[in-house]
Amino acid sequence: MAIISPGGSNNCLLSRLRALIKQQRLVHALSEGGLQAQFHTKMVPDSVPDKGCIDTSKWKKLDSRNLGIKPSMVSQPSWIVLKILQSEGFEAYLVGGCVRDLILKRIPKDFDVITTANLKQIKRQFYRAEIVGRRFPICRVHVKGSVIEVSSFETVAKHAGKKEADSPCRPPGCDKKDFIRWRNSMHRDFTINSLFFDPFANKIYDYANGMVDLRSLKLRTLGSAKLSFEEDCARILRGLRIAARLSLSISKETETAMHRLSSSILKLDKSRIMMELNYMLSYGAAEPSFCLLWRFDLLKILLPLHAAYFDRQSKNMKTAQSSTMLMKLFSSLDKVVSCDRPSESTLWVGLLAFHLALVNNPQDALVVLTFASVLYHEEWEEGVKFSRDNAEGIVNYVPEILCSSEFKSDKVLAKEVSQLASFVLDSISALTATESLIESMSRYPVFPCSGLVFVPKKMAEEVAEIFKGLVNIKSYNKGRKSFQIDYHSLGKGYLSEVRFVIGKVILETMNSGILQGKEVVQELDYHLLQENVKNYNKGRKHSLIPDTPEVKQEMSKKLKLKEQKCNLFEQDTAIDKQGVVELCQAPQRELIAVLGNMLAKRKFQLPEEEGIKKNQELSEDEKFQNKGEKKMHLKTIEKLQECMPPDMATKQQLNKVKKHNSSQEDTIKLKNMFQKKTQKVISEEIVEDRQVTDKGKGSLPPLPSVVSSEEIQKRKQVADNKKGGVS
């Protein structure tokens, strides 16, 4: 019979009592919130669970190679940090969103590392490293131009405070490293962010069913969503950002908690809100992020003016999303930026200010197009020319865009563009100053206004510099040298690059075509597009042609090349026809005289067979005694070609002979082929000529149907002698 110590019995009783109290508190909190959610035993609460709740059978270790993760997919700076920490005897893993993105074959926004070393030990390992953060400090390591955020397992333990005192002991048979990773994963925000990746061992560790939610593309908190968001309300914004970027569905409990606690984000620092908004709008998911902000009533808190605009446009987000200019602007922005090519926040702040100016002061379509074109070209004259050339493709938006007038002079256009720039500058203050925001919200008296402004004034000044040049529009003649986006400059927030991209985004939104260089290429013909799709997909059964500007540019180039070839062919055909007409209209007597002289000079006296044999014995250099004889030889071919009827096959042979400077043997063969036809034509013309010149003086005996060149010369001599005798 086993002996049970009194101390062990008391510990077991206390452990069960703590678990019961925690469960009762959780049920009480849920009932007070009016939620009808049930407590799922599978859902792990945010606090470290009790010893009895640990189920190691659900822990999973996966081979990263089976999931398609290759070492090359991890950035080089991350590898350097991991290797240095491991070489010093510390455990180091990739953790969080980067592991999630690698599994989904997405480019991670950044790579986060977690290690068993404490923050001071981490800092000592690297030349450039600093510890930042008060509530949850981390070490920022600078490696090869990148910043790697390194956290410590120890930090999570200290952050838990008293909760860690109640943490269970490591279960029997549980590996110490597994226990440390599990305890850390329980403090993560979402299940899909609780994965650890050891790239040295090619192992992925899952302690919270993160792979299940990742496969089903579900966003779910670890434990109670309400408790999770109450502990850190920034998780609401982070969750919406992840859902927007990865097109995730949100679990019912998580969605309900987001709706109920949306107003809690007012507790966040303005800098934190700005950072989260920048992550949403600068990394290629601005449009879906805006949709989710509207859906969860967060847009009313963060951007009340734009929320009021949405509310006035449509009662439901689906209609607003498909019809509003603001959503089209962010859709165009998403085509330009991505996680590996992000922009600086001045870009989306400038777009918000531009749109706000149009909502408050609707403009003529040509004015808006010229405004964007000048930003794009950085030159007034080129911008005006471009906008006038592409005014027909403008898409009108209500209420921002007015119907285009038939004509505006350059002077009037310059004045209205400058006025629009002034409106944009005025709108910036509504995003940075509470007084200006409240004043602007007077246009929507029924709509609530939180009074929150989170865009710093320094950034407002930088955005203003983007548009100031358009106030004195005619002096704006810098000129853009390259029309390719410099993503390094864009990420650094260089104003010239941000200005160029804002112009590009507005032009894409205003026009149905796609910008390529200095022109807008309209949608290609449907049949041409289908043909290119077939060619692209040839041999690729499950691939589709990517709808990107680069592909459309390539298709446009091919179309232009085909048009140029067609034009050249038509020109050549017209020249050939003109030559035929001129040849037919030339005096036949002149043609006969030319041919007679050519035949006399060349003196083709050799019989046909004998000439061919001699040419076979001659070398290529001996066939032509000098360059003049070779040129005469080519001219003979041209004259023979002109005499014959238009036979396409024969013309191709002659052109081929001429192009490759064929031997005299080929020429003689062709000459013999045409000789009968030319002799017949010449004989008929000689008879006609004699009838004209020797009227009433008798005539020579009729020529046979086929006359040799020698006979032609003899008869011409006889005719000339008679003329001399008469004279």
Confidence at residue 637, expressed as pLDDT on a 0 to 100 scale: 56
- Look at residue 626 and tell me whether its pLDDT is greater than 70: no
* Type and span of the H or E element at 205: strand 203-206
- Look at residue 703 and tell me whether its pLDDT is greater than 60: no
Q: How far apart are the C-alpha atoms of 581 and 586, rounded to whole Å? A: 9
130 pLDDT band, cuts 50/70/90, is very high
Q: Which of 53-67, 345-359, 680-694, 702-716 has the highest mean pLDDT?
A: 345-359
Q: How far apart are the C-alpha atoms of 476 and 503, rounded to whole Å? A: 14
- Look at residue 438 and tell me whether its pLDDT is greater than 60: yes
Instruction: Give percent of the chain above pLDDT 90.
Output: 44
Q: Count the Cβ atoms, other than its own, within 10 Å of residue 595.
A: 21
Confidence at residue 477, expressed as pLDDT on a 0 to 100 scale: 75
Q: Alpha carbon of 440 to those of 13, 37, 226, 430, 518: distances in Å? A: 63, 41, 35, 7, 37
φ, ψ dihedrals at 131, nearest 5°:
-95, 125
Contact residues for 293 (Cβ-Cβ < 8 A; gap 6+): 240, 280, 299, 302, 303
43 pLDDT band, cuts 50/70/90, is very low
Which two three-digit tokens encode residue 319? 């209609």
Confidence at residue 248, expressed as pLDDT on a 0 to 100 scale: 95
Q: How far apart are the C-alpha atoms of 497 and 344, rounded to whole Å? A: 10
Q: How far apart are the C-alpha atoms of 462 and 496, rounded to whole Å? A: 11
Starting at the edge strand found earlier in the chain, the sheet holding 60-63 runs 60-63, 203-206, 196-198, 92-95, 112-115, 146-152, 138-143, 129-132
Confidence at residue 557, expressed as pLDDT on a 0 to 100 scale: 59
399 pLDDT band, cuts 50/70/90, is confident
Pairing of strands 112-115, 92-95: antiparallel
Q: How far apart are the C-alpha atoms of 529 and 335, rounded to whole Å? A: 21
Confidence at residue 513, expressed as pLDDT on a 0 to 100 scale: 43
Name the residue with higher pLDDT: 456 or 712: 456
- Look at residue 305 and tell me whether its pLDDT is greater than 50: yes
Confidence at residue 203, expressed as pLDDT on a 0 to 100 scale: 95
Q: What is the mean pLDDT of the chain?
A: 74
Q: Which of 13-27, 151-165, 473-487 has the highest mean pLDDT?
A: 473-487
Task: Give the chain's domains with CATH numbers.
Answer: 56-159+173-216 (3.30.460.10), 217-302 (1.10.110.30), 318-512 (no CATH)
- Look at residue 591 and tell me whether its pLDDT is greater than 50: no
Confidence at residue 407, expressed as pLDDT on a 0 to 100 scale: 79
- Look at residue 582 and tell me whether its pLDDT is greater than 60: no
Which two three-digit tokens encode residue 374? 């000048």
Confidence at residue 633, expressed as pLDDT on a 0 to 100 scale: 56
- Look at residue 620 and tell me whether its pLDDT is greater than 60: no
What does the pLDDT look like over 211-260, one tens digit per residue?
999 999 999 999 899 999 999 999 999 999 999 999 999 999 999 999 99
Side-chain-side CA neighbours of residue 260 (13 Å): 17
Average pLDDT over residues 59-81: 93
* Type and span of the H or E element at 499: helix 495-510
What does the pLDDT look like over 527-571, one tens digit per residue?
333 444 344 344 333 333 344 445 555 566 556 565 665 555 455
Pairing of strands 218-219, 249-250: parallel
Q: Which of 405, 432, 430, 428 is nearest to 416 (CA)?
A: 405
691 pLDDT band, cuts 50/70/90, is low
φ, ψ dihedrals at 146, nearest 5°:
-115, 160
Pairing of strands 363-364, 401-402: parallel
Confidence at residue 420, expressed as pLDDT on a 0 to 100 scale: 95
Q: How far apart are the C-alpha atoms of 641 and 675, rounded to whole Å? A: 11
- Look at residue 311 and tell me whether its pLDDT is greater than 90: no
Q: Alpha carbon of 86 to those of 183, 231, 446: distances in Å? A: 21, 33, 60
Average pLDDT over residues 338-353: 94
Average pLDDT over residues 621-645: 53
- Flag the least confident range among 54-63, 489-498, 560-569: 560-569
CB 84 within 8 A of CB 125: yes
Name the residue with higher pLDDT: 192 or 578: 192
Residue in the block written with tokens 């009932």: 31
Confidence at residue 46, expressed as pLDDT on a 0 to 100 scale: 37
279 pLDDT band, cuts 50/70/90, is very high
Name the residue with higher pLDDT: 533 or 687: 687
Q: SS3 string of 27-96?
A: HHHHHHCCCCCCCCCCCCCCCCCCHHHCCHHHCEEEEHHHHCCCHHHCCHHHHHHHHHHHHCCCCEEEEC
The number of residues making up the chain comes to 727
- Give, as one character, the DSSP assignment of residue 180: H
- Look at residue 589 and tell me whether its pLDDT is greater than 50: no
Confidence at residue 710, expressed as pLDDT on a 0 to 100 scale: 62
Three-state SS at 141: strand
Q: Alpha carbon of 272 to those of 27, 113, 239: distances in Å? A: 32, 21, 15
Q: Count the Cβ atoms, other than its own, within 10 Å of residue 48.
A: 21
Q: How far apart are the C-alpha atoms of 103 and 125, rounded to whole Å? A: 30
Confidence at residue 154, expressed as pLDDT on a 0 to 100 scale: 87
First-to-last C-alpha distance (Å) of the chain: 158
Q: How far apart are the C-alpha atoms of 390 and 387, rounded to whole Å? A: 5
Q: Which of 169, 436, 228, 463 is nearest to 345 (CA)?
A: 463
- Look at residue 161 and tell me whether its pLDDT is greater than 80: no
Average pLDDT over residues 375-395: 87
Confidence at residue 287, expressed as pLDDT on a 0 to 100 scale: 94
Average pLDDT over residues 54-72: 88
Side-chain-side CA neighbours of residue 721 (13 Å): 7
Q: How far apart are the C-alpha atoms of 176 and 76, rounded to whole Å? A: 29
34 pLDDT band, cuts 50/70/90, is very low
φ, ψ dihedrals at 60, nearest 5°:
-130, 140
Q: How far apart are the C-alpha atoms of 698 and 573, rounded to whole Å? A: 47
Average pLDDT over residues 83-110: 94
Between helices 588-602 and 627-643, what is the axis angle to 10°?
A: 140
Q: How far apart are the C-alpha atoms of 440 and 281, rounded to whole Å? A: 23
Average pLDDT over residues 249-273: 94
- Look at residue 377 and tell me whether its pLDDT is greater than 60: yes
- Give, as one character, the DSSP assignment of residue 373: H
Name the residue with higher pLDDT: 320 or 520: 320
DSSP string spanning 548-580?
A: -HHHHHHHHHHHHHHHHHHHHHHHHHHHHHHHH
Confidence at residue 679, expressed as pLDDT on a 0 to 100 scale: 56
Confidence at residue 706, expressed as pLDDT on a 0 to 100 scale: 46
